[in-house]
Amino acid sequence: MTKKPIIFSGLQATGIPTLGSLLGAIRNWVRLSVDNNCLYCVVDMHAMTIRQDPEALRNYARQALAWFVALGLDPKACTLYFQSHVPAHAELAWILNCFTYVGELNRMTQFKDKAAKNEDNVNAGLYTYPVLQAADILLYQANLVPVGDDQRQHLELCRDIALRFNNIYGDIFTVPEAYIPPVGARIMGLQHPENKMSKSEAENENNLVLLSDSPESILKKFKRAVTDSDNEVRFAPEKPGISNLLTIYACATGKTIPEAEAEFAGQGYGQLKNGVGEAVVAMLKPYQDEHARLMADSKYLDEVIAQGAAKARAMSEVTLRNVKRAIGYPMP
């Protein structure tokens, strides 16, 4: 019997997931969970690199896991859990810190970007964030990691750490490969289409669509989306706003980019914005209804959380024990 490939990915618990998270990540997670052994994690430990309100963090983490299920991830077919419920993440991260060079961390562009935006809280956790990310992945012997272009550097560091460790101690870790979905890998901001749609840009509420947004809010945000001056609906590098709208429309409707271009050919940007907004509203409605139902069913959600944590802990303990034995920790 052929062993299914193991896939790991995670989502931060720092707010309501965005449309970009759904179209650029979670939708692909659902497809991948059919033929692979998938672990999808709410990375609440990573969230600690910025100051969190405790009640808000707990609420957002629970909502995020409910979104996983509402968006189509089957808890019986894949492992859904909170990172903080599996102590092995932190244990392995410390060990891997000792196999990661300062020069490697200094080259991480995300650290530089985030440090520049949060000068009053440039903490050690932000600096070693990629090592915890490596521990997340290597702990489960993941073969594939769905990543956007902005995470390629972190995955390359993860691979370097795994190879370095294996060269010293033998084949302890599987060296993961990136899985880059061909369409919709990067959903850009509506006001800043040159940058990925991100919760870190939440100071401009019109830049991103949250999965919980009302139809009225969604339509308003798309009406305000940045375009350009020539009024031609065409997918092209020099038209980032229009290209982003066409990408979102294609993802929301299942059509190709050329089909989307043809549908809006000869029409103005106003018709395009309305069409994209309406398609997103229609796509999100059943997901929003299911999320509300799940949040109201605390018993079921608690069961999903407990079962996911138990499955993840069982898998993680095998790797962590092998690592401890390899590096010379006294074994019980």
Domain regions of the chain by residue span: 6-181+298-327, 199-292
Residue pLDDT, tens place only, 289-311: 999 999 999 999 999 999 999 99
Per-residue pLDDT at 24 exceeds 90: no
Mean pLDDT of 204-222: 95
Question: DSSP characters for 38-51?
Answer: EEEEEETTGGGGS-
244-258 burial: b if 16+ Cβ within 10 Å, else e: bbbbbbbbbbebeee
**In this predicted structure, what is the pLDDT of residue 114?**
75
Per-residue pLDDT at 116 exceeds 60: yes
Mean pLDDT of the chain: 92
Question: Residues 176, 145: contact at Cβ < 8 Å?
Answer: yes
Burial of 307 (0-12, 13-18, 19+ CB in 10 A): middle
**Assigned CATH for 6-181+298-327:** 3.40.50.620
Mean pLDDT of 80-91: 97
229 against 119, higher pLDDT: 229
Residue pLDDT, tens place only, 58-74: 999 999 999 999 999 99
Question: DSSP characters for 239-291?
Answer: -HHHHHHHHHHHHHH---HHHHHHHTTT--HHHHHHHHHHHHHHHHHHHHHHH
Catalogue the active-site residues.
Answer: 114, 196, 199
204 against 269, higher pLDDT: 269
Place of tokens 């440090």: 115
Mean pLDDT of 167-190: 86
Mean pLDDT of 183-188: 70
Residue pLDDT, tens place only, 35-47: 999 999 999 999 9
- Name the CATH topology of 199-292: Tyrosyl-Transfer RNA Synthetase (1.10.240)
pLDDT band at 167 (very low <50, low <70, confident <90, very high): very high
**In this predicted structure, what is the pLDDT of residue 118?**
75
